[in-house]
A and B are shown apart, each in its own frame.
Chain A
């Protein structure tokens, strides 16, 4: 609880014009936000842009923060910007995020090719899910947020977020299965 209050206090000071507080805020959140946006946007460049826009938005509209969890408020802001970004990108048809291939950022040891292959496989399956499904899965599994915060981040009622989380996990499993069959068929 104390940590939450501290984070809220740092945010309040940053919004009030404290440059050092803003720097501390950015250092605190740049990594989790970057990983989350990487999964939601499916592209490192888009994730970088959206993260930067999110920090700008924090300063511009931070006064609308009404207490509660900074994490869920921040992820929600980032998620909304990411969705807008995807919509604009689709309109421009400049970048099809489904076709963007993210290089494996955490390669296995050179002799463990199977491990890297499996992760790349799961990553591709994950990128085929909707942005909302990816956000739900990532915030819950990788960031470990409670369901209330996850739901707030993506703008859903908590019970709906829970249900969609389970369905998204099932869909991920089926995507992996389908892709595996497709790849095996293609290999033949």
Chain B
């Protein structure tokens, strides 16, 4: 067993939930780790790293980002998808480009054949000259005419191919620009929606806080008013009691006989 094989097999046991040693799990691995110091060290390091990571993973299991915006994702994905018509145009443009490339390849191949024919003709020219002249065709197009016509057609094909290629490139560029604009628009809408939602949420929180504060103040005002009224009633009672005592004392003073002078 090589060291890499051993470590690869030992990886299975490196999990916070698995307390077994490699020897318990795999006798071959135990034999290897007994004689290989570097693997032993690597495994010890890995176990220590795992113990640190286990603590962090457990703690971070409760970590959450804010909820994902499923609505924005849906809108972005469905908006950014090219329309069926645009996909058809793109496909046609690509097919035309492929066709033109194939045509160009054929034209090049034709040129090579012509060049080869030229070389053969050059080599065979003396023999050709020595051979008896065949009688000219009685009627119909001459060879030069046919070549000229073929050249003409080839040039027109080339021009048409260039034009179609240019148009295909323009269509692709336009489609890319439309894609970019749509994507930017979707991103902008998403940002706008998110911001608007946040502002709304903040406004709702603020209003709720204000409502709570007003309710608390009103409760305190009511409580204070009640306490004040109770205090006033209590004071009035005390005043009335004092007046009664005062009047009683005045009456007693007026009706009582004067005390003799001790001197």
Binding site for B on A (CB under 8 A): 19, 22-23, 26-27, 30-31, 33-35, 37-39, 44, 47-48, 51-52, 55-56, 59-60, 105-106, 118-119, 122-123, 125-126, 137-138, 140-142, 144, 147, 159, 162-163, 165-174, 176
B53–A30 touching, CB < 8 Å: no
Chain B interface, >50% SS class: helix
B7–A35 touching, CB < 8 Å: no
B50–A59 touching, CB < 8 Å: no
- When distances are taken between beta carbons in the complex, the residues of chain B under 8 Å from A55 are 68, 70, 73, 77
A173–B46 touching, CB < 8 Å: yes
Contact of B11 among A30, A122, A162 (CB under 8 A): A162
B46–A138 touching, CB < 8 Å: no
Report if A176-B49 is in contact (Cβ < 8 Å); known contacts: A51-B68, A56-B76: yes
- When distances are taken between beta carbons in the complex, the residues of chain B under 8 Å from A118 are 55
Report if A169-B14 is in contact (Cβ < 8 Å); known contacts: A35-B60, A105-B63, A141-B53: yes
Report if A174-B65 is in contact (Cβ < 8 Å); known contacts: A52-B72, A142-B57, A147-B11: no
Q: List 17 A-B contacts (CB under 8 A).
A: A26-B70, A34-B68, A35-B60, A35-B64, A55-B68, A55-B77, A106-B62, A126-B56, A162-B12, A163-B11, A166-B8, A166-B11, A166-B14, A166-B46, A169-B46, A173-B49, A173-B52
A166 to B218, CA, bound (A): 65
Contact of A26 among B57, B68, B81 (CB under 8 A): B68
A39 to B212, CA, bound (A): 40
Q: For the complex formed, measure the closest distance between the CB of A80 and the CB atoms of chain B, giving whole angstroms.
A: 17
B52–A47 touching, CB < 8 Å: no
A23–B49 touching, CB < 8 Å: no
Contact of A48 among B11, B14, B16, B65 (CB under 8 A): B65
CB-nearest residue of chain B relative to A60? B77
Q: A55-B77, A60-B80 are in contact. List 19 more A-B contacts (CB 8 A).
A: A19-B74, A26-B68, A33-B68, A35-B61, A35-B63, A37-B65, A48-B65, A56-B73, A141-B54, A141-B57, A147-B12, A162-B9, A166-B14, A167-B42, A168-B49, A169-B47, A170-B49, A172-B49, A173-B48
A60 to B79, CA, bound (A): 10
The reply on B238 being an interface residue by CB < 8 A is: no
CB-nearest residue of chain B relative to A33? B68
B53–A52 touching, CB < 8 Å: no
The reply on B175 being an interface residue by CB < 8 A is: no
A100 to B133, CA, bound (A): 90
The reply on B216 being an interface residue by CB < 8 A is: no
A170–B45 touching, CB < 8 Å: yes
The reply on B243 being an interface residue by CB < 8 A is: no
- When distances are taken between beta carbons in the complex, the residues of chain A under 8 Å from B4 are 163
B73–A59 touching, CB < 8 Å: yes
Q: Which chain B residues in 29-43 approach chain A with CB under 8 Å?
A: 42-43
Report if A30-B67 is in contact (Cβ < 8 Å); known contacts: A172-B52, A176-B52: yes
- When distances are taken between beta carbons in the complex, the residues of chain B under 8 Å from A125 are 52
Report if A31-B64 is in contact (Cβ < 8 Å); known contacts: A60-B80, A166-B42: yes
Report if A59-B68 is in contact (Cβ < 8 Å); known contacts: A170-B45, A172-B49: no
B73–A26 touching, CB < 8 Å: yes
A172 to B76, CA, bound (A): 39
A52–B55 touching, CB < 8 Å: no
B68–A123 touching, CB < 8 Å: no
A169–B50 touching, CB < 8 Å: yes
B57–A170 touching, CB < 8 Å: no
Q: For the complex formed, measure the closest distance between the CB of B183 and the CB atoms of chain A, giving whole angstroms.
A: 10
Q: For the complex formed, measure the closest distance between the CB of B87 and the CB atoms of chain A, giving whole angstroms.
A: 13
- When distances are taken between beta carbons in the complex, the residues of chain B under 8 Å from A171 are 49
B53–A126 touching, CB < 8 Å: yes
